[in-house]
A = this chain, B = another copy of it.
Amino acid sequence: MTVTESVATTIRSIRAQVAALHAELPRNGLVVWTAGNVSARVPGADLLVIKPSGVSYDEITADNMVVTDLDANLVDGEMAPSSDTAAHAYVYKHMPHVNGVVHTHSTYATAWSARAEPIPCVLTMIADEFGGEIPVGPFALIGDDSIGQGIVTTLSGHRSPAVLMRNHGVFTIGASARAAVKAAVMCEDVARTVHIARQLGTPLPIAQNDVDSLYARYQNVYGQA
């Protein structure tokens, strides 16, 4: 594969963004040791940038991020890519609106996934960001594109940018890698809050039309234009 000058410049920028976003995972308590990863699509090319496999968060730099094609083949970089690369690649190939993917084993979200139980939409924050319950994806082995298929099947046509992969952890998608990181942070936050609410009783439901209103406002009005 020939990488043009312009794509090379873009890749340098994406490497730096992906490296910087990885710092948000330990900072927000979503990962331990070398677990978890962030990737971003390279705009204008069938490429992605992702964390190398088994590398500590202390050692992540723009330079050691790796570039693969959308079949998870290494295109640029000195290290072996994350063992979750095939899952990320499959998502980019089948969901063209997705430009960022994040994977974590964050504690509370993974606990819901171990029971294969979706997180019900009982907080305004869930309605805002996820537009309804956070769904559960199938059990899948790591390494090939089984996980990618599970993500795409579960999230297609769903408002939620997060899926709880059974007995495994969380994958989130976004229009940018930063948006996918945000979804991963909020997924763990609401997974924890609803877990705690459930420990002492049953959270009250939110009416569907209120969920719809909250989702529409947050997606369209919240933040800066």
- Counting chain B CB atoms within 10 Å of each CB, the highest count among A53, A123, A128, A210 belongs to A123
Residues on B with beta carbons closer than 8 Å to the beta carbon of A34? 223
Residues on B with beta carbons closer than 8 Å to the beta carbon of A195? 196, 199-200
**Least distance between A21 CB and chain B CB atoms (Å):** 13
A127 (CB) vs chain B CBs: closest residue = B167
Chain A interfacial positions (CB closer than 8 Å to B) = 28, 32-35, 52-55, 79-80, 83, 105, 107-108, 110-112, 114-117, 122-125, 128, 139, 141-143, 166-169, 182, 185-186, 189, 192-204, 206, 210, 213-214, 217-218, 221-225
Assess whether A223 is in contact with B53, with CB atoms less than 8 Å apart.
Answer: yes
**Least distance between A58 CB and chain B CB atoms (Å):** 10
**A167 contact from B28, B123, B198, Cβ within 8 A:** B123
Given the known inter-chain contacts A139-B206, A199-B195, A199-B200, please indicate yes or no for A54 contacting B223, CB distance below 8 A: yes
A interface majority secondary structure: loop
Complex: how many Å from CA A140 to CA B202?
Answer: 19
**A182 contact from B33, B192, B204, Cβ within 8 A:** B33
Residues on B with beta carbons closer than 8 Å to the beta carbon of A197? 110-112, 114-115
Assess whether A189 is in contact with B53, with CB atoms less than 8 Å apart.
Answer: no
Could you list 24 examples of A-B contacts with CB < 8 Å?
A32-B186, A32-B189, A33-B185, A34-B223, A52-B224, A53-B223, A54-B223, A55-B224, A80-B225, A83-B221, A83-B222, A111-B199, A114-B203, A117-B201, A122-B167, A123-B168, A125-B168, A125-B169, A139-B210, A141-B210, A141-B217, A142-B214, A142-B217, A199-B200
Complex: how many Å from CA A167 to CA B204?
Answer: 7
Residues on B with beta carbons closer than 8 Å to the beta carbon of A108? 196
Complex: how many Å from CA A25 to CA B141?
Answer: 31
Given the known inter-chain contacts A167-B206, A189-B107, A193-B107, please indicate yes or no for A79 contacting B224, CB distance below 8 A: yes
Given the known inter-chain contacts A114-B203, A117-B201, A122-B167, please indicate yes or no for A54 contacting B222, CB distance below 8 A: yes
Residues on B with beta carbons closer than 8 Å to the beta carbon of A204? 114-116, 139, 166-167
